Structure 1
């Protein structure tokens, strides 16, 4: 059995993570007043800008100063080992780079601290509105207006409003993604794709939307958002409807999840099952 995380470390980490996310967010806002330098990152269509690198440098500096023995897994610079590898920070310095690259002000900063692979602190900051949300495992989720409770929305229509996420490794011809998207769109009032998963997690946590579906989602932006969602009362399952393992595995090639309140995850699991029979013809593979 894993030893429980030190409460003093968790409390200090929460304050440091909030300060680091907000400092990085301010730097991104200021940087957007200047010309944006965008370049491709990898072969899957992802992008990186000088603001991603600047924000990550700010966050890593803060974390190293406060917790020099902790490991860090960062979006741009990868893994940094530490003497206390049971503690690992997961840093997404700019979640929504593709949005910024095309002039959409929809992006966020995410920081999580994991102990033995399980998220214990999660922070999400939205620079455009200067709003911050955070959670401590077992201690609840909070935002600008106090505690967050993911209550089910009153729907004027029976169809839910959903968010959709697919990992960068998922190609446009992926038959599973095609089937899922068509099935969700046929059964939802609206399916949104923000290109900033952390903000989708905040929307479902606040009850702004009914559910969130992720297909082969990356692990960098998962722990901060999912912890805040769990602590606000959101249920998160795998595609079969079983509780999703909270532990983060950096080697995982992608995570499938369903999130929502009440019976939403169960209903989504039924849709996922039905999507397996969907075949899309006439499109390039």
Structure 2
């Protein structure tokens, strides 16, 4: 367990570096934005953050691999192993390029298929969230100004605050009607999107969030934080999430109800 403490401390250092770069480029008049092959935007801040994080990891953890959104997977020179870092340099790039302050750097450490360390740093919000397996989940301005967090105790969907990112993806997978039924039946629904809904879930400020598809770099850092806060994350079929899979995150108490509500109809 001590190893995770060291890795978590390194994740904070990586986040400090990322925050310095991304904050300097946020709302910069000369910010450069291009379209990737999938037509999603990438800014010079995305690439600069990932390069800086990779450079630090190459020095501090040369035996670990790295998977990043902008530059793909690299295997350490020492050879492939079960440990690798997953980096989303700026989650919420569309917000970032429009001057909306809800964006973050996501940093995770994987052991095999399992995320064991997760950190989310949102400098424009002045907030950071982190967790390591068996060590609990925390939030605060930085690691020395932190509060342990936990999910809510809401047990009924009718009483739940439910979060989603957008509706288009649910139409694409043929489950828009199911999502609309949930949104009309819960106590409150909001589309916070990206990392932010899951962090509010981990803090107990909302009770469930679902998205039709995420990549590994979108979710790896979120999983330890939500689960160490007492919540649960699976795909729509109740299985562990992977790359390019659906995601359902809840306080645990609502999980089966959400899965049943989103199930494919014959």
Q: Residues of 1 paired with 2:207 and 2:163: CA distance?
A: 8
Inter-CA distance 163–75: structure 2 relative to 1 (3 Å threshold): same
Q: CA deviation at 1:153?
A: 5.3
Q: Residues of 1 paired with 2:85 and 2:3: CA distance?
A: 13
1:85 aligned onto 2:81: yes
Q: Under a length normalisation based on structure 2, what TM-score does the superposition of the two structures give?
A: 0.87
Q: CA deviation at 1:61?
A: 1.5
Q: Deviations over 1:118-165 (max 9, x none)?
A: 11111111111332211111221112232112132599x934221224
Which consecutive unaligned segments of at least 5 residues does structure 1 have? 1-6, 278-285
**Greater alpha carbon shift after TM alignment, 89-98 vs 122-131:** 122-131
Cα contact 2:213–2:246 (8 A) shared by 1: yes
Cα contact 1:141–1:231 (8 A) shared by 2: yes
Q: Deviations over 1:203-255 (max 9, x none)?
A: 10001111011212221121110110000000223324x3x326x5xxx3x22
Cα contact 1:150–1:233 (8 A) shared by 2: yes
Q: Residues of 2 paired with 1:159 and 1:172: CA distance?
A: 23
| Corresponding residue to 1:59 among 53, 58, 81 | 53
1:270 aligned onto 2:260: yes
Which consecutive unaligned segments of at least 5 residues does structure 2 have? 141-145
Q: Residues of 2 paired with 1:202 and 1:173: CA distance?
A: 25
Q: Residue 216 of structure 2 aligns to a residue in which SS?
A: coil
Structure (1 or 2) with the greater helix fraction: 2
Q: CA deviation at 1:33?
A: 4.5
Match of 1:38 in 2: 33
Match of 2:143 in 1: none
Cα contact 1:166–1:217 (8 A) shared by 2: no
| Corresponding residue to 2:118 among 118, 122, 128 | 122
Match of 2:251 in 1: 261
Match of 1:149 in 2: 150
1:192 aligned onto 2:190: yes
Number of equivalent positions: 258
Match of 1:282 in 2: none
| Corresponding residue to 1:201 among 185, 198, 202 | 198
| Corresponding residue to 2:240 among 223, 238, 245 | 245
| Corresponding residue to 2:220 among 212, 218, 223 | 223
1:75 aligned onto 2:69: yes
1:11 aligned onto 2:1: no
Cα contact 2:233–2:240 (8 A) shared by 1: no
Q: After the TM superposition, which parts of structure 1 deviate over 4 Å for at least 4 consecutive aligned residues? A: 170-173
Q: Under a length normalisation based on structure 1, what TM-score does the superposition of the two structures give?
A: 0.82
Match of 2:104 in 1: 108
Inter-CA distance 200–172: structure 2 relative to 1 (3 Å threshold): closer
Cα contact 1:52–1:76 (8 A) shared by 2: yes
Provide the aligned C-alpha RMSD in A.
2.5
Q: Residues of 1 paired with 2:16 and 2:126: CA distance?
A: 8
Q: Residues of 2 paired with 1:165 and 1:63: CA distance?
A: 31
